[in-house]
Structure 1
Amino acid sequence: MKSHQPKLKTQLFSCGFFRQCGQTVLSPTATGTTPPLPLTHTHTHTSTTCESSTSSSSSATSQSFTQWRFSLPTPTSTPNTPPPTDTHTHTHTHNPPPLPSPFTIPNLQELFHVSDIQLTTDFNAALNLLERSLVPNPPQDQPPCPPNLMRALICNLREAKPATKILFALCLSEANRRVAVEAGAVGAVVESAPELDGAPAERALAALELMCTVPEGAEEVRAHALAVPVMVTVMGKTGARGKEYAIGVLAVIYGGDVGEQLTAPPEEVARAVELALQGECSARGKRKGAQLLKMLQHLSHPHAHVTS
Structure 2
Amino acid sequence: MMRANQKPKPNAPPRPLFSCGFFRRCTQSVLSPTSPHQQPRRKPATTSSSSSSSTSTSQSFTQWRFPHHVDQTPSTAPPPPAPARPPPLPVATTLQETYQIAELHLASVSESDKLLALQLLERVVVPDPPSDPTCPPGLMRGLVSCLRGNRIVTAKYVTKILLALCLAEGNRRVAVEAGAARAVVETAAGLENSAVERALAALELMCTTAEGAAEVRAHAMTVPAMVAVMARLAGRGREYAISILAVVYGRGGAFSGEEITVAPAEEVARAVALALEGECTARGRRKGAHLLKTLEEYGRLDLSQNGT
| Alignment counterpart, residue 176 of structure 1, candidates 171, 177, 183 | 171
Note if 1:143 corresponds to 2:133: yes
| Alignment counterpart, residue 201 of structure 1, candidates 193, 196, 201 | 196
Would the aligned equivalents of 2:296 and 2:302 in 1 still touch at CA under 8 Å? no
Give, in whole Å, the separation in 2 of the partners of 1:103 and 1:296. Answer: 54
* Structure-2 change in CA distance of 1:103 and 1:278 (3 Å): farther
**What does residue 121 of structure 2 align with?**
130
Offset of 1:144 from its aligned partner? 1.8
Give, in whole Å, the separation in 2 of the partners of 1:103 and 1:238. Answer: 39
Offset of 1:214 from its aligned partner? 0.4
Offset of 1:120 from its aligned partner? 4.0
* Structure-2 change in CA distance of 1:216 and 1:120 (3 Å): closer
**What does residue 216 of structure 1 align with?**
211
Note if 1:154 corresponds to 2:144: yes
**What does residue 60 of structure 1 align with?**
none
Q: Trace 1:5-24 onto structure 2 (pairs within 5 A).
A: none
Offset of 1:132 from its aligned partner? 0.5
Larger Rg: 2
Give, in whole Å, the separation in 2 of the partners of 1:170 and 1:153. Answer: 11
Offset of 1:104 from its aligned partner? 7.0
Offset of 1:196 from its aligned partner? 1.0
Deviations 1:34-76 (A, max 9, x none): xxxxxxxxxxxxxxxxxxxxxxxxxxxxxxxxxxxxxxxxxxx
Deviations 1:255-299 (A, max 9, x none): 113234242122211110000010110111111111111112123
Note if 1:115 corresponds to 2:110: no
Offset of 1:197 from its aligned partner? 2.0
Note if 1:236 corresponds to 2:231: yes
The DSSP-based 3-state class of the residue aligned with 2:208 is coil
* Structure-2 change in CA distance of 1:224 and 1:131 (3 Å): same
Would the aligned equivalents of 2:226 and 2:242 in 1 still touch at CA under 8 Å? yes
Give, in whole Å, the separation in 2 of the partners of 1:200 and 1:147. Answer: 22
Offset of 1:118 from its aligned partner? 2.5
The DSSP-based 3-state class of the residue aligned with 1:137 is coil
Q: Trace 1:267-286 onto structure 2 (pairs within 5 A).
A: 267-286=266-285
Task: Give the TM-score taking structure 1 as reference length.
Answer: 0.61
Offset of 1:303 from its aligned partner? 11
Offset of 1:187 from its aligned partner? 0.8
* Structure-2 change in CA distance of 1:131 and 1:267 (3 Å): same
The DSSP-based 3-state class of the residue aligned with 2:142 is helix
**What does residue 37 of structure 2 align with?**
none
* Structure-2 change in CA distance of 1:154 and 1:267 (3 Å): same
Task: Give the TM-score taking structure 2 as reference length.
Answer: 0.61
Offset of 1:142 from its aligned partner? 2.7
Give, in whole Å, the separation in 1 of the partners of 2:207 and 2:100. Answer: 27
How many residues are treated as equivalent by the alignment? Answer: 202
* Structure-2 change in CA distance of 1:267 and 1:145 (3 Å): same
Offset of 1:223 from its aligned partner? 0.4
Offset of 1:147 from its aligned partner? 1.5
The residue identity in structure 2 corresponding to 1:268 is E
The DSSP-based 3-state class of the residue aligned with 2:171 is helix
Would the aligned equivalents of 2:266 and 2:300 in 1 still touch at CA under 8 Å? no
The residue identity in structure 1 corresponding to 2:128 is N
Offset of 1:108 from its aligned partner? 2.3
**RMSD of aligned C-alpha atoms?**
2.2
Give, in whole Å, the separation in 1 of the partners of 2:234 and 2:115. Answer: 28
The residue identity in structure 1 corresponding to 2:187 is S
Runs (5+) with no aligned partner, structure 2: 1-88, 304-308
Deviations 1:189-212 (A, max 9, x none): 000000112210100000110000
Would the aligned equivalents of 2:219 and 2:261 in 1 still touch at CA under 8 Å? no
Structure holding more helix per residue = 2
Offset of 1:301 from its aligned partner? 4.7
Give, in whole Å, the separation in 2 of the partners of 1:295 and 1:242. Answer: 22
Give, in whole Å, the separation in 2 of the partners of 1:195 and 1:172. Answer: 24
